[in-house]
Structure 1
């Protein structure tokens, strides 16, 4: 277990987004609930979702059903607000106080819960002062509707400003062997402020789990639009996977276990949240907790995936504009 500002979560969490599609065909609620319950049975108590995942908020509804079969006091539920698709099909980021409250109350209703353990702003709305957004989130904490506040893909400046209004419990950001942007500024800041880091896509959107290597990318998968998974980039990146696979063999574990163990050994305040639709992958991922690495091991694994040799941008053209690096640049322009 690990503690973020008094919120105790399991050392490894579970990202629920994929249960409702995106990377694969969506699961039925019955099948999705079964995976969630299996994860809990293996010691995972931290589950991450969003009001944006799945058609018509399907992911929150599914997770709400699963939680009915679990002891609520032993589960840490994280969900998010702040992004939506407009009637015209455009992606919109919104962080007004009114929208914060509207989203929170809607999520509570879909999840059929009295409170949310960790409530994130999914993406930062730079047109609204973060102090205004945080002010409303603080009110929701005081009302008992949420226990803790988080930010996702926020810049260092935004995190610091938000933290001055109310403590930020955790920052969620993409972090994996081939995506290490946060090591420059986000990780040092979170260390300074005592903020936890929730690492989403800790297996490189499934790459180090064998996606596009051991199994093909489904036609419905958004990965078909990610540069690292296509054409010459993919062929070059396969060499990185092979290097990790060789090291995994030496450590008597699988490539995804090694990739997750590398993350788990970076800092004590990092909680990866790998997701999967397959129980066998779930068991495999949880096996990473038993992998022990020393400093030389960690250095060797890092060197096996040189950042300057990773081919292709980590984001698609669609998602790049919502990464924290872009948010940092945009905030400077707005100012």
Structure 2
């Protein structure tokens, strides 16, 4: 999973009688927020408020993932494949969305072999075909996926499986090279040196330009980087999942590796897609996500309210504040929120115009650290595949 953030269209259901907090900007106050900004942050936010946060961006800032230059915000592909709610989006809708993203400065489009499986790469390939050479396509391998049926049969990063996956990705993406290729999850049965060596060969053949890892162990990062320098690490990172700050981010800074947060908006939680009355449809992953269960949502809404309160004083939505906060952490962090709707795409992209001063960032972080989060950061099967160290090379 990557972004595995979704915007408000992904609340598989039922806001019921609950208030949709997307229109909080029209109110004069937040009832029951229960958390106040510090005097410093009130003053700083007041002085820095700008209507620019709500204007259409003319051009997006650029950032670097290692030596790879990309837009400050990318676009994740899970929403259009219907992973959380709804059906696979019609290709013409996907084409319009990706065209609009490109026209607004997005150059990083993230997908994976298992999104669908096999479906999202086809969607992305067709959507970006008119401007393929002007953008960066990121995709992922790491599972044994039947190339005909899409059946997923567990982790597999053996060299022959990597090559089969890349050849399939190239065909589906309608391209002859992948700009950024990730190992989706570390295979506990394959030394990372074998994985890195295979990718290095693919780079020498011109089929891959840059590579990265998703949710690897720290030592695995060092070992992989020693064989073939990594451009990016893609891990879960958001206001309620901050563990990268003490582990992988310092390592990325040391090794000059970029960082791509997946699920930057907390599965839509910080996009105001979930409230106390939300009930997810059958098959929606968030129904088993510990932090979005009915018993944990009320406690966790305190963090959303805190973010919205900052939004009131910076003239921005919760999504924009959250993404702007991620961008403020390091100049080499590139979030990849996903959406299937133009209105949410435009909202997210405006986050690039919302800025945090050093004082504001400290105040914001201090406030976040005081909020207790209910529930584990992810479902058990997902967590078990995070931070895995590859076996030693024999």
Aligned 8 A contact 1:52 1:84 in 2? no
Moved more, 169-178 or 209-218: 209-218
Aligned 8 A contact 1:170 1:195 in 2? yes
Q: Aligned match of 1:72 in 109, 122, 132? A: 132
Partner residue in 2 for 1:235: 298
Partner residue in 2 for 1:320: 383
Instruction: Output the CA distance in 2 between the equivalents of 1:90 and 1:72.
Output: 28
Partner residue in 2 for 1:102: 164
Partner residue in 1 for 2:225: 163
- Structure 2 residue ranges without an equivalent (≥5): 1-61
CA, structure 1 residues 141+320, in 2 after alignment: closer, same or farther (shift >3 Å)? same
CA, structure 1 residues 217+47, in 2 after alignment: closer, same or farther (shift >3 Å)? farther
TM-score scaled by length of structure 2: 0.79
SS where residue 296 of structure 2 aligns?
helix
CA, structure 1 residues 290+243, in 2 after alignment: closer, same or farther (shift >3 Å)? same
* Displacement after TM superposition at 1:24 (Å): 2.0
SS where residue 173 of structure 1 aligns?
strand
Partner residue in 2 for 1:112: 174
Q: Bigger relative contact order, structure 1 or 2, given CA contacts below 8 A and separation 6+?
A: 2
Deviations 1:245-287 (A, max 9, x none): 1111111111110011000000011000001111111111111
CA, structure 1 residues 271+215, in 2 after alignment: closer, same or farther (shift >3 Å)? farther
* Displacement after TM superposition at 1:67 (Å): 1.4
Aligned 8 A contact 1:227 1:314 in 2? yes
Instruction: Output the CA distance in 1 between the equivalents of 2:354 and 2:257.
Output: 25
Aligned 8 A contact 1:240 1:304 in 2? no
SS where residue 334 of structure 2 aligns?
strand
Q: Aligned match of 1:127 in 175, 183, 189? A: 189
Greater Rg by CA: 2
CA, structure 1 residues 91+297, in 2 after alignment: closer, same or farther (shift >3 Å)? farther
Tell whether 2:289 aligns with 1:289: no
RMSD: 2.2
Partner residue in 2 for 1:194: 256
Instruction: Output the CA distance in 2 between the equivalents of 1:163 and 1:73.
Output: 27
SS where residue 269 of structure 1 aligns?
coil
Deviations 1:190-237 (A, max 9, x none): 000000001111111211001213994641421111011112211111
* Equivalent residues, number: 329
More helix per residue: 1 or 2?
1
SS where residue 265 of structure 1 aligns?
helix
* Displacement after TM superposition at 1:31 (Å): 1.4
Partner residue in 2 for 1:60: 121
Instruction: Output the CA distance in 2 between the equivalents of 1:197 and 1:58.
Output: 26
Moved more, 208-217 or 44-53: 208-217
Q: Aligned match of 1:272 in 329, 332, 335? A: 335
TM-score scaled by length of structure 1: 0.93
Instruction: Output the CA distance in 2 between the equivalents of 1:312 and 1:278.
Output: 29
* Displacement after TM superposition at 1:75 (Å): 0.5
Aligned 8 A contact 1:171 1:195 in 2? yes
Q: What pairs with 1:141-180 in structure 2 (closer than 5 Å)?
A: 141-180=203-242
SS where residue 271 of structure 1 aligns?
coil
SS where residue 24 of structure 1 aligns?
coil
- Structure 1 residue ranges without an equivalent (≥5): none
Instruction: Output the CA distance in 1 between the equivalents of 2:100 and 2:278.
Output: 25
Partner residue in 1 for 2:308: 245
Q: Aligned match of 2:274 in 209, 212, 221? A: 212
